[in-house]
Structure 1
């Protein structure tokens, strides 16, 4: 028997590939070695060049970059279905009792379920907004094979925040630093740790400045919920005579390592500030739709990087494919119809936000967000040989309009297969779902929600 010399770790054969310029090329080989893409090209040609112990059959499938959820709450998975159709204030009546009653085992189960849902819906990387017991989230990410950024929930003020959820500046910083030292760069670089502000309303100026200062010392990022609710704007105007982004600029903390989640209610001056400092923003279309419509066309026109987030299962589930559908309709109805511009938000722009936009939000665009030789092998395969997808005049449009989470067949992160033919290989799906049902019931009683 002829000895075969293996010069690749994984080959995906005969798939269609979404290119960085958003064209689709058929009959491609994608070759992976040492967690990176080392070649992409014609199947007939590359089949003679590369040999691998492991292969995936890509017939009838489209390969595209893994989707990146740039703002989620993995600790809120056990809130699914609870906050829709509720009158204000959801934060004080439901969210605070829920979060303040989370135990370590709840966070672990919730984050396991989050990772499971993300894998099955095509998300390969995410940014967590922070919560309690975040070392449990870290462990879930490492076990799942996903790529993630986590942080602690950082608050030291706020009249509606119980003392159990607030800490001194020193305690907030030390807790986040501990998480950073324990987990930053672990999992072969799949897991990073940032610093965060829960929101400007819940953080004193001293804490805000200390968070940015510590993050800079650690050469890592900072994120915060920004310009999501009118009361945020009112708070800043009443206390500082400035809007939220103007206030952060006045403190001298803004830079290209800052990520502002939501960023719906932006003034023109705030948009200019974001552009000046090359800060990044994230929209969560379904969650945001009840609060306002972001000025995304203007943001993109000014060259500001925009990513997509789900805002956690408490708001909408973790499918970025669902977010894209809703976002296209919102943009067309709110911005397109009044000026008769049916292409105010083309499919290409939306796909770029959920891939490369997410990579920029993670400050990893040199490694993630597109399928290119030399980039990390984070990718998904979609079964496009189905009656609700094929035939199509334009596959990019159909990706937005028709593809759903169940069409994702395979998920590869850092060159490792984490889901194959809809079977998640890294997590015990049956066990996680069973334990999640028990945990939700117990937590609901404990939190009285």
Structure 2
């Protein structure tokens, strides 16, 4: 590749998310290699790089790629399973009776296939980076990492670590296929880190993906993981302060709250992304701010599960880095983060009873630059700036539901949806163009998913999901 090989996306409205939060009409982005070479008015960028190929993106919005900070790749096959019967209203019955048995029944081939389906959906709807929270041993870490590399997406893969006593496992019916030895989970995570961290030009990170620090777990695991992560400069993610039962458990151990418990364990810190935090109160928010931890709010999934909202507005006011996530399709039935932008805003405004508590601009920050901070790579992605990685998306606004445009930011947050994403660029490579995926075989992935799900359900002993109404 020559020094000036690359391309220009021209004649668009740019939402830069740079330090000045500039929005540029009739703007252009020049991409050379894996990086952004210029951002500005189209005429200026064309004069600067007259030798580059120019692509016309009139009537498009160009923004940084979206960053999903909480993903369950293994749940792509479980879309809508949470609505299958009344048992699903109880979280532990949903977990032990439905989700864990199916996750435990998956083979490494199933794990790669589910990851492919999930990543396909994310890419086509504008997600360029994501954090996988808990890749299990039986899902095949290598196959999932290879899928990420080949698809072109940027990924932080949390490899599961757990220490669930056998007595508790047997008490709740935790399937053996989803239960793993703690020493093995840590050693396998470190082996995966050695093999994959930094792969694909730095697109792949390997993290610790901790199971929730609740009554099922040995607290010593988290102290050990926190120590190893700090020594090796690794990051970790965990479901935390998710339910009031988490707080009740922490209080039985002598802590004021689950957040205080996590802080004492060392897993609430600057290298951590904490998912949900729907049970966090004002004192917990102060702990988060002090610790420098990031929070991933999964508004659509939490609304489906009726858990109540993450106190996003109060967290932001205290300086907590709050980012966004879709979670998994077993709850939130889509991995369309663009769609979920409005959900977090609607829920926050409804809870506060004022539209001024959370603006569209802040929501877009949460989906881009805040997500980049959570990943620890805000110096590389999250905004359209010269020298940063070329991770960006374009939204085709030449459709009725995006016309007219008073504010491109409000249009993106409140009106756009994943199907409006036309082009996706990651690390300088075009992976989606004209709504078509270029790095994956969409037809084969979808066909494979249709065949695998019934077999996984059969092995798990989970009856096929049926509508509540009669099926003739």
TM-score range, shorter chain: over 0.9
CA contact 1:65–1:379 (8 Å) conserved in 2: yes
> Which residue in the other structure is 1:87 paired with?
89
SS in 2 for 1:151: strand
Q: Where does residue 333 of structure 1 map in the other structure?
A: 350
Matched, 1:14 2:18: no
Question: In the TM superposition, what whole-angstrom CA distance separates every residue of 1:109-135 from its partner, at most 9, and x where no partner exists?
Answer: 000111100111100000000122222
* Equivalent position of 2:278 in the other structure: 264
Q: Residue 282 of structure 1 contacts residue 306 of structure 1 at CA under 8 Å; is this kept in 2?
A: yes
Q: Distance in 2 between matches of 1:252 and 1:118?
A: 32
Q: Is the 8 A contact 1:297 1:344 kept in 2?
A: yes
Q: Is the 8 A contact 1:70 1:127 kept in 2?
A: yes
Q: Over aligned residues, Cα RMSD in angstroms?
A: 1.6
SS at match of 1:264: coil
Structure 1 length as normaliser, TM-score?
0.94
Residues 25-424 of structure 1: matches in 2 within 5 Å? 25-51=24-50, 54-84=53-83, 86-88=88-90, 89-132=93-136, 133-157=140-164, 159=168, 160=172, 161-201=174-214, 202-289=216-303, 290-316=306-332, 317-335=334-352, 337=353, 341-424=354-437
**1:170 Cα deviation from its structure 2 partner:** 1.8
Task: Give the alignment's TM-score, normalised by structure 2.
Answer: 0.90
How far apart, CA to CA, are the structure 2 residues paired with 1:8 and 1:374? Answer: 15
Counterparts of 2:439 and 2:217, CA distance in 1:
38
Partner SS for 1:70: strand
Following the alignment from structure 1 to structure 2, what is the Cα–Cα distance between the partners of residues 54 and 444? 49
Q: Deviations over 1:136-183 (max 9, x none)?
A: 221110010000000222221162333443333321210111111111
Cα deviation digits, residues 395-445 of structure 1 (max 9, x gap) = 222212211111100000000000011110000000000001001121111
Any unmatched runs of 5+ in structure 1? none
CA distance 1:252–1:71, change in 2 (3 Å): closer
Is this contact kept in 2: 1:6–1:51, CA < 8 A? no
- Which stretch shifts more, 403-412 or 288-297? 288-297
Q: Is the 8 A contact 1:151 1:179 kept in 2?
A: no
2:31/2:390 contact within 8 Å kept = yes
CA distance in 2 between partners of 1:253 and 1:445 (Å): 37
Cα deviation, residue 52, structure 1: 5.0
Q: How many residues align?
A: 441
Question: Structure 1 360/101 Cα, relative in aligned 2: closer, same or farther at 3 Å?
Answer: same
1:252–1:286 CA distance, 2 compared to 1 (3 A):
closer
Q: 1:62 to 1:29 in 2, by over 3 A?
A: same
Aligned-partner Cα distance in 2 for 1:240–1:121: 45
CA distance in 2, matches of 1:23, 1:398: 16
1:426 alignment partner in structure 2:
439
In 1, Cα distance between the equivalents of 2:265 and 2:97? 33
Q: Distance in 1 between matches of 2:415 and 2:265?
A: 45
Change in CA separation of 1:321 and 1:252 when aligned onto 2, cut-off 3 Å:
closer
244-253 or 385-394, which deviates more = 244-253
CA displacement at 1:321 relative to structure 2: 1.7
**Is the alpha carbon distance of 1:52 and 1:187 closer, same or farther for their aligned partners in structure 2, counting shifts above 3 Å?**
farther
Q: 1-side partners of 2:83 and 2:122: how far apart?
A: 21
Deviation at 1:389, TM superposition (A): 1.0
1:227 CA drift (Å): 1.1
Residues 155 and 30 of structure 1: CA distance in aligned 2, closer, same or farther (over 3 Å): same
- 1:202-248 per-residue CA deviation (whole Å, 9 max, x = no partner) reads 43122111111221222110111001122222222123434222112
SS in structure 2 of the partner of residue 380 of structure 1: strand
